[in-house]
A and B are shown apart, each in its own frame.
Chain A
Amino acid sequence: MSNRRALVVEDEVLVGMLIEEMLRDLGYEIAGLSTHLDHALALARTARFDVALLDINLNGRQSFPVADAIRARGLPFLFATGYGSRIVPEPYCNAPILQKPFSLEELKVALQRAGL
């Protein structure tokens, strides 16, 4: 069985690189790392992945359209944010939320909560 693939949407490249490392440690392959909303939207619609990790704030724009595109494909996603959980609006409040910065253990638990 091939490894599960994860899409990472994170506008801070260094943080994105750490998340990639963590996901690899948990046995994931990286389907892509996107730092911009438009690019992330394109990947969300076309890339092959099993789960996505979404930073909510992408250079001042919110990543909820990306969440919509992923949900439309029936795939799970989780949020990572430095804003606190109150920023997530009603339609997405069931998705696991990671508070930045987070540990490998916290990422593992969140992925499990997303059904993986």
Chain B
Amino acid sequence: MPSPPDAETLLDTILEGIGLPFYAVDKDWRIFLYNSAAERHFGQPAEKMIGTSLWEHFPQDRPSDRSRLLHDAMARRETLRGETLSLTGRHVSYVMFPLGEGLGVFVRDVTDRRNAEKQREEAEEALRKRTLELEAVLETIPTGVWFTTDPDLRHVVGNRRAIELLRIPRELDLSSALNQPSGFTVFRDGIEVPPEARPLHRAARGETVPDVVLEIRFDNGDRRMLLMRAAPLRSKTGELQGAVAAAADVTERLRYEDHLKLLLNELNHRVKNTLAIVQSIATLTLKDVNPDARATFEERLLNLSAVHNLLTDESWDSTSLAAVARTSLRAARERVSFDGDDLRLRPKSAVALSMALHELGTNALKYGALSTEHGRISVQWTIDNDRFRLRWQETGGPPVSVPEHRGFGSRMIERGLAAELQGEVRIDWQSQGVVCTIDAPIEAIHDRGSGA
């Protein structure tokens, strides 16, 4: 059996082997043990420390927890453990114990661990704050929100509004309420939508569900309209992690829109009725007095009514130039050629242009190209440099001469239309056929809001 090492070697080996900073002082604070871990911890070599007073290196008058602790341990002659800010300004855990008449001190630098802990606490606190903010938002917004973390909706959470919207009883959890709905059924365009085809279910399977209006029919007969959206939740790597769905109650909005449609429809009905009454008065007044005037007036009125119909079909937002041109010239449609990219007209421009084209068409039928068998009309328009240019050209009709008297029709075209379009309108009575040109700024006639 080998002989044990001598006590000094044994002590050195233990002190080095422990690997923690260790030093020992006598009753006068003179350092007599100081291992290499302590060298690294204090940044001072053992030769410089051994035999010197601890307070030479760390002035005693410096008020610190550590110095108070050391004096306390020295005075009380008992073992103290804890954590403190060290003499070097680092966070350490320590063990101080009586050693002879002095003290032995182990320290362990825990600054990095403490910093990590502090960072984690701060992060947790920030997350807690974010979560509270988000919850406050979720509880405040008038939108129902549901979250799920699995494709079968076994776990579902929702905000208060979500529960209110579906009138889910307090005792029922959201997962059951969505998977085996009771108390309501869901319809889309009058067709029942089973649970698995609803937005949150679809999104939980990976589908993004754009705006969809669903009707919720409650068992007591109430009906609410919900505008819903849903989207899958995915991890950074694209893995499906659940889904979120949101719903807003649009019942009142849709009801209001229906009401507006009804009002508009009613207004249109009255306008048409009034036009019919005006037609009757004029026709019955002029029938035997001036049949030509009666016919001209009636045609103008019916044309106005026809362009009103076009505008009514589009809720008086705007209408298509091609449709206006075809409608206004419907009496001679097969002998008129149209050429130009369609564009959306403002309602007032549509009416003015329609009345003008109607006058040109009537004139062509009576005296111009359409008064003969082979005459034709070409209507071409272009949009270039923000100018709208339209050219009406008659060909194949009888020779044209400049009329001696400008009737209401030509005045309506040259003055009325020009003023409405803020442009120039010219009728050129060329002998081979009437030419009418319109040149107007595009913004005066074009409704950009509807595109095209």
Contacts and interface: CB of A to CB of B under 8 A. Distances in A.
Interface in A71-116: 81-84, 99-103
Contacts of B302: 101-103
B273 interface: yes
Given A101-B272, A101-B305, A12 B312 contact: no
Interface string A26-40: 000000000000000
Contacts of A99: 272, 305, 309
Interface stretch (B97-105, B173-181, B278-286): B278-286
B283 A100 contact: no
B283 A18 contact: yes
A50 interface: no
B272 A100 contact: yes
B83 interface: no
A12 B276 CA distance: 9
A99 B265 CA distance: 14
Interface in B290-312: 298-299, 301-302, 305, 309, 312
B281 A101 contact: no
A101 B276 contact: yes
Contacts of B313: 84
A14 interface: yes
A14 B280 CA distance: 6
Contacts of A101: 272, 275-276, 278-279, 301-302, 305
B84 interface: no
A15 B280 contact: yes
A21 interface: yes
A42 interface: no
A17 interface: yes
Contact of B269 (A14, A15, A83, A103): A83
Interface residues of B, number: 25
Contacts, number: 60
A63 to B, nearest CB: 14
B268 interface: yes
A83 B265 contact: yes
Interface residues of A, number: 16
A21 B281 CA distance: 12
Contacts of A103: 298-299, 302
B277 A12 contact: yes
A82 B284 CA distance: 20
A7 B279 CA distance: 21
Nearest to A87: B265
B57 interface: no
Given A57-B269, A102-B302, A103-B302, A82 B276 contact: yes
A82 B269 contact: yes
Nearest to B287: A21
Given A21-B283, A101-B302, A14 B272 contact: no
B312 to A, nearest CB: 7
A90 to B, nearest CB: 16
Contacts of A17: 280, 284
A90 B309 CA distance: 22
Nearest to B281: A14
A82 B287 contact: no
A18 B273 contact: no
Given A14-B280, A15-B277, A17-B284, A82 B272 contact: yes
B301 to A, nearest CB: 7
A102 B275 CA distance: 10
Nearest to B270: A82
Nearest to B269: A82
A82 B276 CA distance: 9
Contacts of A14: 277, 280-281, 284
Given A99-B309, A101-B279, A12 B298 contact: no
Interface in B332-391: none
Contact of A15 (B270, B276, B312): B276
B281 A100 contact: no
A14 B265 CA distance: 22
B291 to A, nearest CB: 11
Given A82-B268, A83-B265, A100 B280 contact: no
Given A84-B312, A99-B305, A101-B275, 20 more contacts: A12-B277, A14-B277, A15-B273, A15-B276, A15-B277, A18-B283, A21-B283, A21-B284, A82-B270, A82-B273, A83-B269, A84-B265, A84-B309, A99-B309, A100-B305, A101-B276, A101-B279, A102-B302, A103-B298, A103-B302
29 contacts: A12-B273, A12-B280, A14-B277, A14-B284, A15-B273, A15-B276, A15-B280, A17-B280, A17-B284, A18-B280, A18-B283, A18-B284, A82-B270, A82-B271, A82-B272, A82-B273, A82-B276, A84-B265, A84-B313, A99-B272, A100-B273, A100-B275, A100-B276, A100-B305, A101-B275, A101-B276, A101-B301, A101-B305, A103-B302
Interface of A: 12, 14-15, 17-18, 21, 57, 81-84, 99-103
The list of the 9 closest CB pairs from A to B, nearest first, reads: A82-B272, A18-B280, A101-B276, A14-B280, A82-B269, A100-B276, A101-B279, A15-B276, A101-B275
